Structure 1
């Protein structure tokens, strides 16, 4: 099992070489490490030279932070008292965070958020302790650096690491350094460095330039994140770094939402130039008992973590269930949950094609709350090849559109631009606009049935019945939707659900999680982030319950493995 490790100090060239080795397949790497490395190489070799691209890579700035961190000393283990040696993956992280800057103003860093998921024993506290000292010394005058955690002792781990580094390293590296009871200062620049927790007496009045959440996945209280993030509007170029190992139940936490968002950016579902993600974890479908997969989660293998150590714990995990859960979560960064992603976005993208709207049309209405997104989805078909065609139009009140969370506004705007999202006047759902849309659709399409759930839909349903449409009630429960959910999943894998590749609809598909009960019935539902909508997909499933029933009886659907 080859790894790219060094017994000398890393450079920017090593960081770039690391990305090349990942992309070329010279290193075994997780899916999203490959994607982030590919983005980096594309940007550094091509995109940065385009006039419309805001950012450039400054190797000098990247080298400065990498070199500084490696002048400080290790404070733990056999290497204590010797200069830190960053491994190429760590240099890759720092090179991205500090090397990418605005072409017009190099004091503005490209990445405002870094999401780093890495296995236990990777040396992350050493890296963060050194980085915090770098900011304390080199950040603009009056800057604040904070580490955060739910408990004070956890928040102080990196803070204490920085202090011990300063005490054991050349004092010329930290001019103006002064430690008080609850903060570290650079008296020459009035920069200060503190550790915050839920118990901290003062959380307001901050103006944070660098925020560090060590073991971010273990933080359950969103308020702590929100306090720090809201303070970062004041500094010129703030940055927040989430770094963590896997944690039990983390799929319901703030970090997982950030990780999911970053992955969607790398998948091309969302656009966000200012988030950086290194997700070191085994991939879906990997055998957790295969020792060869360890390197996907542990980039420091052979340095701070030995393969023998992993083998020992793996043998115990194979026979002791409680150890297995801990091994898979903390050593492989596998999120173990009762829910999983429903359909892989790569499988979905393979179904892109031209929608045939001359086929029989079955509509699904997912109306939901009166002040939120609603969807009218169409299932056309089947065509002569037994395939169904999917399209959808969503509606959102103007007030809800304006007040949408910051991280979904770009995708809402993309929906408006593509015509898949219609913004209606007022603060509540505009049933008249939805009714008019369906009337217009029926002028050019053969609408056979309209499927609906009777929750919050009776008035519009009665109006559509008066218009002469055949209305079919589809309860949104497992009994009604489990069979068609399984069928649609098979059809997507077989290339039998054609769509036009719209980003807004793909985003909703990517938000779908599937819950499985003890009887292996399944139901699609949204994840923890309620702003990540799935209405168009639910409406499509409702439409497919009737479209699939009314297909010619000779049609069958089998999953053909690739």
Structure 2
């Protein structure tokens, strides 16, 4: 691990660690604000990814942030009561966006200089918090002040009409800044910085994005309006030859539609913030009210407005929020709009059945060698073609708990795609031995068969549950060879009891006495964090692969194994009526 460093002033007294944690500020950023006479903001985001303090050689360079703020100060507000006034970012914008992104650097031998660590920025916040102005300032800075020769900076738009909405505010920033008149030339569809040969323009098609793509920067406003991910993904892959590119996305929340590019980006930021994935080149912050704040009077309380709107009181103003809240009281449709646009609440959101807190609390230690010869129950979840396959073993103890082992496979050709979906963690999992790659581009059942044969020899296997709908030649061969395979249908009646039992054990288990000891397997943890469930009218539950954000194969295999363990073991406690069982919604 690297050690974060910065130049500190002895005259600055930082708040204690508990207060910094409450404010969600790193010591380096807090020091910077106080050393520059900027008050510490008291509006921490709901989600914030770690700053890249652990990168080898990471250094917080205050001069870099000074340069950004100086450049912003040369711009002028173009609308409202501040029109014509210098664009001075608010303390919260500096603390949670500009300083973490532009301040953290590392030495790059190829560039022969220090370069930014963060290459991807994601900011989500409700309307009227100055996001478009902030985005425009970043775009102009990358074009004209970042010290990059021939910088190509683009903005992504879904069509020509939206391109105008994106380009015009940024063009106005450039046109109305007296300090920029001699340096920047705004044209109809392009802003040019002649001295460095750099330019900014809007692209609305993949072909435009690919044309001469050697991007230094890109900005994306309102990500949720991009129904097709191709344009944004093309832009993200066009920065390979730059030493410190930056893709900045600033958006409001969507309604909660699954598997869109917005949904994937937002979930990735949450997973980075929770530590499920790690990517020091990505930094993101999300401001929003809590899910519970949509009920009763909570949406109309000022404390809720402050929680979701870091600029509350200035932009949006109290009067503006009161008008919007008054409209929201009048109809369900207006309330849904208010929740999404002004409180950042995705109005259609899945229930989270297993919390990471309870999962992590039960990690414990698992010694596979000590489990040899023990009674075991298996669950097999086979990929139909080219994705994850999972085998889970549950080994019961004498206290109502289980030790858990997984075997997980993916085709070698799928690893690159899986890396993209896991911020590069899939390759790490392979190196750590948690995930096995098999030859070719489809699931290699021979490899899986060999592992199952080894496990049959190592454990006292009572049964291996599998989904009969996805029966394969592998399951046919294992059955013919005498392996104790049992069909476990994937409906509510079969899967609800084991899933409820899993939740019950996790809620009951403690760090001192875990009841589902899984050893902190990172692939399984990723799957748990992805898990969505379906509920029927009788409140039965089952894993829902279609609604889950990403792969849940490790959990699916575990629930199938639990179905076998519960059927064949003496029932020690009821899985159907437990006052501690609950749905956890975030």
TM-score, normalised to structure 1's length?
Answer: 0.87
Change (3 A) 1:21 1:87: closer
* Residues 349-374 of structure 1, C-alpha deviations (whole Å, 9 max, x = no match): 11111347365311011012133221
Answering whether residue 69 of structure 2 is matched by residue 66 of structure 1, we say: yes
Q: How far did residue 384 of structure 1 move?
A: 3.0
Picking from 557, 560, 579, the partner of 1:542 is 560
Q: How far did residue 66 of structure 1 move?
A: 1.4
Partners of 2:222 and 2:566 in 1: how far apart? 47
Q: Alignment partner of 2:47: what SS?
A: helix
TM-score, normalised to structure 2's length?
Answer: 0.84
Q: Is the 8 A contact 1:363 1:543 kept in 2?
A: yes
Q: How far did residue 18 of structure 1 move?
A: 12
* Residues 187-206 of structure 1, C-alpha deviations (whole Å, 9 max, x = no match): 22221111122498675322
Q: Is the 8 A contact 2:34 2:40 kept in 1?
A: no
Change (3 A) 1:354 1:12: closer
Picking from 151, 154, 157, the partner of 1:143 is 151
- Structure 1 partner of 2:471: 457
Picking from 470, 473, 476, the partner of 2:484 is 470
Picking from 393, 400, 406, the partner of 2:407 is 393
Picking from 342, 350, 362, the partner of 2:353 is 342
Change (3 A) 1:417 1:20: farther
Q: What 5-or-longer segments of structure 2 have no aligned partner?
A: 1-21, 24-28, 510-514
Picking from 244, 250, 253, the partner of 1:243 is 250
Q: How far did residue 80 of structure 1 move?
A: 0.7
Q: What 5-or-longer segments of structure 1 have no aligned partner?
A: 5-9
Partners of 2:34 and 2:245 in 1: how far apart? 23
- Structure 2 partner of 1:7: none
Partners of 1:324 and 1:539 in 2: how far apart? 40
Q: How far did residue 268 of structure 1 move?
A: 1.7
> Cα RMSD over matched residues?
3.0
Q: Which moved more, 1:75-84 or 1:353-362?
A: 353-362
The aligned length equals 536
Q: How far did residue 526 of structure 1 move?
A: 4.0
Partners of 1:257 and 1:199 in 2: how far apart? 20
Q: How far did residue 119 of structure 1 move?
A: 0.7
Picking from 138, 146, 150, the partner of 1:131 is 138
Partners of 2:186 and 2:233 in 1: how far apart? 27
Q: How far did residue 409 of structure 1 move?
A: 6.8
1:287-326 pair list within 5 angstroms: 287=294, 289-290=297-298, 291=301, 292-326=303-337
* Residues 478-526 of structure 1, C-alpha deviations (whole Å, 9 max, x = no match): 3432333233223322223221112122112112122335554433234
Q: How far did residue 174 of structure 1 move?
A: 4.7
Answering whether residue 121 of structure 2 is matched by residue 117 of structure 1, we say: no
Change (3 A) 1:174 1:189: farther
Picking from 223, 226, 231, the partner of 1:219 is 226
Q: Is the 8 A contact 1:107 1:237 kept in 2?
A: no
Answering whether residue 491 of structure 2 is matched by residue 480 of structure 1, we say: no
Answering whether residue 189 of structure 2 is matched by residue 187 of structure 1, we say: no
Answering whether residue 534 of structure 2 is matched by residue 515 of structure 1, we say: yes
Partners of 2:35 and 2:484 in 1: how far apart? 61
Q: How far did residue 64 of structure 1 move?
A: 0.5
Partners of 1:435 and 1:19 in 2: how far apart? 63
- Structure 1 partner of 2:516: 497
Answering whether residue 39 of structure 2 is matched by residue 32 of structure 1, we say: no
